Each structure stands twice: as C-alpha cells, then as structure tokens.
Structure 1
Amino acid sequence: MLKRFKTVIQQSPLLKVTSFNSFSVVIKMMTGLGVSKLTAVFLGPQGLAFIGNMRDALELFHKFSSAGLANAAVKYSAENKSNSKAFSSFLSTLVWSGILACTLVMAIIFFFSEFINAFIFGSRDFVFIIRVMAFVLPLHVMNIYLMSFLKGFSEFSKVIKINIASHLLNFLLFAILVFALDLKGAILSVVLVPSVMLVFTLHHVRVYFGRLNSFSLREFSSPMLKNLGQFAFMTLISSASFPLVFLGIRNFIINNLGEVEAGFWESMMRISNYYLLFVLSLLNLYILPKLAEAQTKKGFRDIIFSFYKQILPLFVLGLIVVYLLRDLIVRLIFSEEFLPAADLFLWQMLGDFFRVLALVMVYQFHAKKMMWHYILTDLFLALGLYVSAVYFIPEVGLEGVVIGHALTYLIYFVIILSIFSKTLFFHRA
C-alpha cells in the first residue's frame, strides 16, 4: 500500500510538489506555533494585534516598492526562459522599473514615518522601526524578484528550501528580539527577516547569476514596460486595498470593541493562515506557472479540475479536523486567554473554503493578464470584507467580522465561477 502511494506521487507532478511542499508547511506551522506562543505569553492579545498591523503595512510597502511585479516576473520568466534575448529585455525593463519604484517608496516611508507610525500604531512610538524599514526595503525587493525568477524557472525545490530557511529564521530572530526588546523587538523582527533572507536566496539562485546579470539600460523595452504596467496596475490597485482593509477592520475593532478583541480576531486570522498554508503556497508555487504555460482552454480546465480532484478533498478533511479540535488548537497555539477566538472558527472556515474554490481560478487572471476582471473582482472582495465587517460587528459583536468574511467569499466565488463557467463546463476544445 505504501509503495503504491509513493508510485502515485511520483507519477503526478502536482502531488510530487505537494508532498515536498507539505514538509515546508509543517515547518512553517511549527515555527509559527512557536512565534504565536511567545506572542501570547509575552505580549498578549494587544501585542498580537499590533504585530498584525505591522505585517499588513509591510505587505503594502512590498507591493508598491516592487511595483506590483512579482507575479509578472513569474509569468515572463516562465515564458522567456528559453529565449535569452527576450529574457534580457524583460529583465532590464523589470530591474529599472523596480529601482524607480523602490526609491520612491523608500523616500515616502522615511519622510512620512511619523504619519505612518500613527496610522499603524496609534499613540505608540515605533517611528525608528518605520525608518529602518525604509533603508532595508531594497533588500526585500531583491528577494521578492529572485524568488519570482526561481518560480518561473520551475525551481520548486529551491523555493521550498528558501521558505523553510525563512520560517526557521523568523522564529529564531523573533524569539531573540522579543526577549531583548519586548513588543518593539517583535515588530523589528517583522522588518528584518526578509532582509536577512536575501542571503539564502542568493545562495540558491547563484547558478543563474549569468542570466540575471544580463540587464542594461539599452535593453529597456517600451512594449515590455507596457505589459509590465498592466500587471502593476492590476496588482497594485487590488493588493493595496487588502492590507488597508485589514488595517481598517483591525482599527475598527480596537475603537469599538477594544485592543483585546482585535487580538482575538488576529489570532483567528493566524490560525486560518496556518491551515491555508498548504493550499495557498501550492497555488503560488505550482498553479500560477502552469497556468502561464497553458495555451488552450482545455489546458486551463485540466489544471483546475486536477486541483479540485486531488487537493480539495484533503483540504476539506483538514478543515473538519481543525474545527473539531478548535479549543485545543487555540490553547496550544496561544493560551487560555485566547479561548474566545474559538467562537470565530465556523464562519471563518466556511469563508476560507469558498476562498480556495475561487482562488484556483483567479490565478488565471494573472497568468493571462485579464486585468479588469482581476481588478474589479478584487475591489469587490476588499470592499465587501470591510463593509460587511463594519455592518455586522455593531450588530453581533466580534463574530460579525467572520460572518462578513464567509458571506463575502461566497458571493466572490459565485462571481468567479460565472466568469469561467463557459470554459469549465461548456467548452471542450
């Protein structure tokens, strides 16, 4: 039986990547468990809420400083990896665009650090950390681009190895800085980890140094800039909205229910992120490059249904187990103080189920540059999450935020399914 199971995995590229990726997910869950436990013990729900705000802000700055081109780098690396001239043109355009975007964002963060601090942390003073973030941002952007190249080159094992190193480093640095500097150390670790990770990424990408050095201003391409601009436009509009929405929801909870309740919601979000790790990392690592390479509607349909048949049943089984063990999970990851978060599981998990159903199709928007589909559906999703939270929280309390989450993702899935229904169910070519 075990031998047959191994044979099935070896014969399926999707399951082969999944099995190796699962090890990375386990490492991330273990290190995440350690980080969450340290946060619960030393910083409490309030500290967890402010760390969540810092993570959302950093994600926002990552998107803008990389010009929103991480997925574009995956797509064009995959498409042009066998064409050195086309790859050089793409690389040159990407690098110079990235340098301009990163420099601009660095200046904004540094000179408006006090305003940014007030928006993220209220009256708490972490201006120094905001300014540190401005200086290390180029290292973050370089790491983002290099990881995208590896994905485009189908170097899945290297990407997973880098991710594993990142998880271990995150736990180690977080533990050291929390013991040394308390909440300030925890927030500083969020900023520093991506910078240090560049060392690991450079080690794994060294075999491609020759190709990745083939950029120059002479190779800058206006047609390629137009293509990248479409990616940037569709990514930045939607990607900027989600960190802002989560910051807005968290601040709304703080202002209306309190910092502790915001910490409970953040703990639910963390647990959700843990059990979604497997699926979302697989989508980003495997599905996007495959969709970029797929040239026919049948190819797209085969990828989608392969995911639904092979991966989705495992995900549903995992959701059921997590729900049944929710009280134990909250105690294990956090502490008794966080047990009210267990009341948020049902609606959160229902929304996450519809989220996964939709996202595997949504990656086609990136792969085929379906710009307006992506922008409009993501703006609806972001607006729906915020409006539903603001509406339901005063009505039913903290549970209102997850009720809004479930309702919004159900509607979102129906919209995405309607967009691709003809290709999935009625087109056979």
Structure 2
Amino acid sequence: MQRFFKVISYTAFLTFIKMLCGIFISKAIAIYAGPSGMALFGQMQGFTTMLTNLGNSPNNSGVIKYTAEFEHKGIDVYSQWWKAAIYWSFFVYITLFMLVVFFSEEISIFLTGKNDYRWLVISAGMLIPLSALGVLCSSIYNSFRDYKNFFLSGMISTLITSVVIIYIILSYGLIGAMVAAVIQPALIGGGVFIFSLKEKWCRLKYFIGPITKGAKNDILKYVAMISVSAIVGPLSIIILRTFLIEQVGWEIAGEWQSVWKISEVYLGVITLTLSTYYLPVLAKTRDYQQLVLELRRTVKVIFPLIVLMAIFIYILRDYIIYILFSKDFYNARELFLIQLLGDVIKIASYIYAYPMLAKGKIKFFIFTEILFCITLITLSFFLINIFGVHGANIAYASNYLLYLIVVIMSFKRLYAQSCN
C-alpha cells in the first residue's frame, strides 16, 4: 500500500496544479463569456473530448495492460503492443478526420445551433494525433510505474497549456474559449510527447515495424471497448446538455455546466489514481482472491476519501463558486447536493468496473456502457421535465446507482473463472 499512497500524493499534487489552472480558465470564461458562454464551452469541450478519447483508444488501457504484463520479457516483446497501438491509431485518425470534415456543418449546428463553428469542428479533428501521442507516452510511463516522470510530464504540459489558453480567452473572449476547448488536449499531448523524447524507450524502432497478429487483435479489443465508451459517454452528456438548454435556457444550463466542471476537476484525483495504480495492478493479477483483495484495499482507501472530498466541497460551495466563476453563477449552489452524491456513487462503481478493462471483458463492458448511457438520457428527459435543471442531477445519481448494482452483482460471475 506504500506505493498506493505514493501514487495518491503524486496524483493530488498534479490535480492541485490542474485545479489551479482550471480555476483561472473557468474564471476567465465566466468573466468574459458568462453562463451562456460556459454552456457553449461545455458543448465544444464535450465534442473534443469524444474525438480525442476515440483517437486515444488504442493508446491507453491496452498499452498499460500488456506492457505491465510482459515487462519482464523485455522491450522487444512488449513493444509489439506499442506498434499495434500506432497502427490502429492511424486508422482511427483517418476515419475520424474524414467523418468530421464531411459532417462539420451538421456537427456545428447540433452543438451550438449555428454553422459558424465548422472551422473549430474540423480543427478538433486535425489535432487528434498530438493528443494520441501524449496519451501513448503517458501509458508507457504508467505501465513502468515511473510515477515521477508520469506526473512531471503531466504537470509541465498542463502549466504551459494553461498559460496559452488563458491568454487566448483574455484576448478573444467567447471565441477564445471555444478555441481553448478544441486545442487543450492537443497542447497537453504534445507537451507530454516532447517531454518523453529523452527516454531510452522513445525510439522509432519500438513504435514502427512488423507487428504480430496477436498484438493487433489484443489492441483492437481495447479500441472497441474504449471507442464505445468515448462515443456514448460524451455524446450522452451533449444530448443531456442540449435538452437542458431547450428546457431551461443557456443561462441555467451554464450554471449546471459549472457544477459539472467542478466535479470533473476534483474527481480527477480519484480517476487518475485508479488508472495509474489500480489498473496496472489488476492487469497482473492471476488469482480471483487476489483480485478481490486488491479491490477491497482500494475501496477502503478511495471510498472514505471521495466522501470527505464531496462533503468538503458541499460545505464550501459558495466560496468555490465565487472563486472559480462569478456572482452570475450564484444559483448553481442549489445543484451541488445531488451532483456530489452522484459523484460518490460514480467512483464506487468505477472501482468495481475497472477490472473489466484490466481483464478485457469486452462484451459486458460494451453492453453496460451503451445500456447506461441510454438510461441516463432517458432518465434525464423524464426527470428534467418534472424537476427542471435538478432533474439532470437526479438522473446522473440514479443512473450510477443502477450501474453500481449491476457491476457488483456481476463481479464474481465475470472474474471467478477467468482469473483461475
């Protein structure tokens, strides 16, 4: 557990840096664009997140799993999965870019109600490779448990990126905020890649060359899993936000987006810890009892931590709104309680769901991702009509509660045989 707490401390520090940068970015958007600008920023950021997650799908969980699993066999063996990741990244990028260019006008209208932002939609597609390279390098650091360089690369790239983004927002207002949403992942990814060039493993021969069919198929499995998650997750939030805008207007939707943004920032401490420590450890487990032991250890540390963080944020929500945004967002204080409850349930469900990634449970993973994104949208449509903006938060918490119940009930059936 010493390594676990080391990861938590590194993660907390990196998240603190990201949080500070996020405060300045959110403050700039709040002052120069207001609640409606925050909602527009959320729409474009959601689309960019979906694109970059799709572009990154070959480069994260699969690379972490197979590098960690075969580390003892040497770089000539485990670099096969790096080459496979590059191979699939190329095909994913070409496909995404063609689709984005062809449907750019329709996407712009769907996101913003106007076709004025076609150029931003196309730019988001063009910048996918930079983000993908950064994620691949981060995954390699992670799989080697090189936490120092993993977090240092993330911190430096985040700081530099935040300075650039704040300058753009201050200089160009709402348009600057929209541009910031599009270029942020690419700037961070490019920074991580440049940082990684000093490493001995960062050589062209380990990423380009002959690839075994087995390695291609292994990474393709993760491409399928993460692509589904990358599409249906952000898309469901975009649909939810669009419906919210139609029902309550841009201003209130912007207040909801501000609370959602706060959740994203503080939950980053937990999700980064899970992907950095928990996922590689799960990938190496061969015994069901060992898997259960790791899960219980993680629950004992993570669950009390997320509860304390949620309580702390709820108590200080007025100060947080004032510091992060402006007085125009004051009504957002009423949206915190159920949102934070949903956050706690969400992390609990993630702890039980992460073994699906570590063990490659592709069918169950894809089924649950699609099912619970559909239920989120359905619950949101129903509850927003009844409770207004609060219905979105009730739907969020209820949906993750259902998801948690399903992954707990399915746990033993999924892993008891495959781990033995």
Aligned to 1:208: 200
Return the alpha-carbon distance in structure 2 between the equivalents of residues 143 and 301 of structure 1.
32
Could you list the per-position Cα deviations for residues 97-137 of structure 1 after superposition, in whole angstroms to 9, with x for gaps in the alignment? 21122122122223332222212221161222223223322
SS at structure 1 position matched to 2:200? helix
Matched, 1:370 2:365: no
Aligned to 1:420: 411
SS at structure 2 position matched to 1:311? helix
The 5-angstrom pairing of residues 396-415 of structure 1 reads 396-415=387-406
Deviates more, 1:166-175 or 1:395-404: 166-175
The 5-angstrom pairing of residues 127-138 of structure 1 reads 127-138=118-129
Return the alpha-carbon distance in structure 2 between the equivalents of residues 21 and 67 of structure 1.
22
RMSD: 2.3
- The equivalent position to 1:288 in structure 2, one of 266, 279, 286, is 279
- The equivalent position to 1:97 in structure 2, one of 88, 104, 108, is 88
- The equivalent position to 1:52 in structure 2, one of 42, 45, 62, is 42
TM-score by length of 1: 0.91
SS at structure 1 position matched to 2:21? helix
Q: 1:297 to 1:263 in 2, by over 3 A?
A: same
SS at structure 2 position matched to 1:171? helix
Asked if 1 retains the 8 angstrom alpha-carbon contact of 2:168 and 2:177, the reply is yes
Return the alpha-carbon distance in structure 2 between the equivalents of residues 12 and 424 of structure 1.
26
Moved over 6 A (4+): 422-425
The 5-angstrom pairing of residues 25-36 of structure 1 reads 25-36=15-26
Deviates more, 1:311-320 or 1:64-73: 64-73
- The equivalent position to 2:98 in structure 1, one of 107, 113, 126, is 107
Matched, 1:251 2:242: yes
Aligned to 1:38: 28
Matched, 1:330 2:348: no
Aligned to 1:270: 261
Q: 1:25 to 1:210 in 2, by over 3 A?
A: closer
Q: 1:214 to 1:201 in 2, by over 3 A?
A: closer
Could you list the per-position Cα deviations for residues 260-305 of structure 1 after superposition, in whole angstroms to 9, with x for gaps in the alignment? 1110110110111122121111111111111111221122122211
SS at structure 2 position matched to 1:323? helix
Offset of 1:215 from its aligned partner? 3.9
SS at structure 1 position matched to 2:116? coil
Offset of 1:46 from its aligned partner? 0.8
Can you give the 5+ residue segments of structure 1 that lack an aligned partner in the other structure? 1-10
Return the alpha-carbon distance in structure 2 between the equivalents of residues 13 and 215 of structure 1.
29
SS at structure 1 position matched to 2:206? coil
- The equivalent position to 2:186 in structure 1, one of 195, 198, 219, is 195
Offset of 1:213 from its aligned partner? 2.6
Aligned to 2:60: 70
Return the alpha-carbon distance in structure 2 between the equivalents of residues 16 and 86 of structure 1.
29
SS at structure 2 position matched to 1:207? coil
Percent sequence identity over aligned pairs: 25
Matched, 1:279 2:267: no
Offset of 1:203 from its aligned partner? 2.0
TM-score by length of 2: 0.93
Deviates more, 1:92-101 or 1:389-398: 92-101
Return the alpha-carbon distance in structure 1 between the equivalents of residues 54 and 120 of structure 2.
19
Q: 1:205 to 1:283 in 2, by over 3 A?
A: farther
Offset of 1:424 from its aligned partner? 10
Aligned to 1:140: 131
Offset of 1:76 from its aligned partner? 1.6
Return the alpha-carbon distance in structure 2 between the equivalents of residues 278 and 113 of structure 1.
34
Asked if 1 retains the 8 angstrom alpha-carbon contact of 2:137 and 2:196, the reply is no
Aligned to 1:19: 9
Return the alpha-carbon distance in structure 1 between the equivalents of residues 70 and 90 of structure 2.
22
Asked if 1 retains the 8 angstrom alpha-carbon contact of 2:33 and 2:174, the reply is yes
Asked if 2 retains the 8 angstrom alpha-carbon contact of 1:241 and 1:382, the reply is yes
Equivalent position amino acid for 2:389 in 1: L
Aligned to 2:145: 154
Return the alpha-carbon distance in structure 1 between the equivalents of residues 305 and 57 of structure 2.
35
- The equivalent position to 1:381 in structure 2, one of 372, 381, 386, is 372
Aligned to 2:221: 230
Return the alpha-carbon distance in structure 1 between the equivalents of residues 360 and 130 of structure 2.
28
- The equivalent position to 2:342 in structure 1, one of 351, 373, 376, is 351
SS at structure 1 position matched to 2:191? helix
Asked if 1 retains the 8 angstrom alpha-carbon contact of 2:50 and 2:230, the reply is yes
Equivalent position amino acid for 2:318 in 1: D
Deviates more, 1:204-213 or 1:98-107: 204-213
Matched, 1:172 2:163: yes
SS at structure 2 position matched to 1:208? coil
| Aligned positions, number | 418
Equivalent position amino acid for 2:39 in 1: A
Equivalent position amino acid for 2:226 in 1: T
Return the alpha-carbon distance in structure 1 between the equivalents of residues 368 and 42 of structure 2.
25
Return the alpha-carbon distance in structure 1 between the equivalents of residues 152 and 60 of structure 2.
19
Asked if 2 retains the 8 angstrom alpha-carbon contact of 1:27 and 1:164, the reply is yes
Return the alpha-carbon distance in structure 2 between the equivalents of residues 393 and 12 of structure 1.
45
Q: 1:421 to 1:346 in 2, by over 3 A?
A: farther
Equivalent position amino acid for 1:343 in 2: E
Asked if 2 retains the 8 angstrom alpha-carbon contact of 1:102 and 1:138, the reply is yes
Return the alpha-carbon distance in structure 2 between the equivalents of residues 272 and 124 of structure 1.
30
Return the alpha-carbon distance in structure 2 between the equivalents of residues 113 and 400 of structure 1.
31
